[in-house]
Structures are given as structure tokens and as C-alpha cells.
Amino acid sequence: MVAVLLLMRVAEKKSKLNESARTSLVNGFKYLAADTRMIYPISLVVIVSLFIIPYQTVLPVFARDILQVGAGGLGFLNMAAGLGAVLGALGVASLRPGKQRAYLFAIIVGLAVVVALFAVSSSFAVAFITLIATGAGVVAIKAISFTLVQQQLPDEFRGRVMAFVTMLSGGTPAVGGLMIGFAASRWSAPVALGAGAIAFLLVCLLLSMQRVSRSVHE
């Protein structure tokens, strides 16, 4: 793969921008603040990274104390989430262009439900299946959100905005992990994870309602 990339010859395209890195970054933030179309997809990336992805933080607790499958079972649970991620990516890729948005809300609701089911389950089989669905849902939401952002970005802001969104996507789960870890130590891992699933669904509902209201007024 590396050799193929090195052999590729891409026509050089000079940037029309002549500005410092700081100015470029500031202009990128200004664009995000001005374009309300970016709020919904970027917020979805943050919300799923804050409330859902940190399930990985308490997964060892489920494997050891609730499912009682030990380190080997934990490996299978992680594998289930990874398998789901692949299936989710393939599913989004198979959707016709322009149809991703139509399935987004159903995926959000489904993801909240399967995470809640995982939180209350004491069966390894149920946990395995729900983690497949969780991995698929997380990747589907992120892929669709990234697609919506890219479709609406002008070329001159694409790199800056996508770098910002990628930073949020990679950094927010650490904050969510702190939150779910604190909640699990205060109450329990199932309560913390179930509360995260409910919070995820409620915040997404509020965000969707706000988006609809903004579209009506526009």
C-alpha cells in the first residue's frame, strides 16, 4: 500500500490563500461560526463521542463483574464492536448518494436502544450482538456526519474544518471516559452506561428539533 501511494503522481495545485497558519485557523473558526449548516453534523460527532464511545472505558468491568467472562471474553466483546464498525462502514457506503441523512435519525435511536440493552444485559450472547450493533451505529453516525460536513464545505475551508472535526472526534471520548468512569464509581457501570445512552438520545432529539425549527424560520 505504501509503495502504491509513493508511485502515485498527483498534479500539484497551488493554494490561492496567502495567509499565516494563525490567520488560516482563525478564518476557519469564523466560517464555522457563520455557517449554521455545520452545527448539526459537527454536534453529532461530539455527542456520540461524548456519550456512547466511552462505553469502552467500562467494558472491562462488564466482562469481569457482570458477564464474568474474563480477559478472553473481553477480547471477543472488543472484536464484536470492531466487526460492527466494519459492517457500519459498508452499510453507509452502500447507501445511495443523498440518502444518508434520511437514515440518520433511525440510526441515532437504534444506537441508543442497543447501548441501553447492553447496559442491562447479563447475557454474553446479548452483549456480543448489541456491541456489533453499537460499533455499526457509531461508525455510521460519524461517517454520515463527516460526509454532510464535507458536502457543504467550500474547498478553501475544507482542510481547516475537517482538521477541527477530526480533533473533536479524537479528543471528546477522553472527556466522556472521565464522565462515565466517575459515574460508574459513584453508582455502577450499567447505570452510568444506561444514563449515557439516555443522555445521547435526548441531546440528539433536542438538536434535531432545533435544526427543524431553524429550517422552518429560514
User: What is the pLDDT at residue 151?
Assistant: 78
Residues sharing a CB contact under 8 Å with residue 16, sequence separation 6 or more, in sequence order: 156
Burial 14-39 (b: 16+ CB within 10 A, else e): eeeeeeeeeeeeeebeebbeeeeebe
Which CA distances in Å does 151 have to 144, 147, 193, 214?
A: 10, 6, 33, 20
| Residue 162: pLDDT band with limits 50, 70, 90 | confident
| Residue 189: pLDDT band with limits 50, 70, 90 | very high
Kindly state the DSSP code that residue 92 receives in the 8-state scheme: H
Q: What is the pTM of this model?
A: 0.81
| Residue 1: pLDDT band with limits 50, 70, 90 | very low
- Domain ranges in the chain? 37-217
Residues sharing a CB contact under 8 Å with residue 14, sequence separation 6 or more, in sequence order: none
User: What is the pLDDT at residue 5?
Assistant: 43
Q: Does domain 37-217 have CATH number 1.20.1250.20?
A: yes
In this prediction, residues 124-141 reach a mean pLDDT of 94
Grid coordinates of 91? 452499510
Share of the chain above pLDDT 90, in %: 45
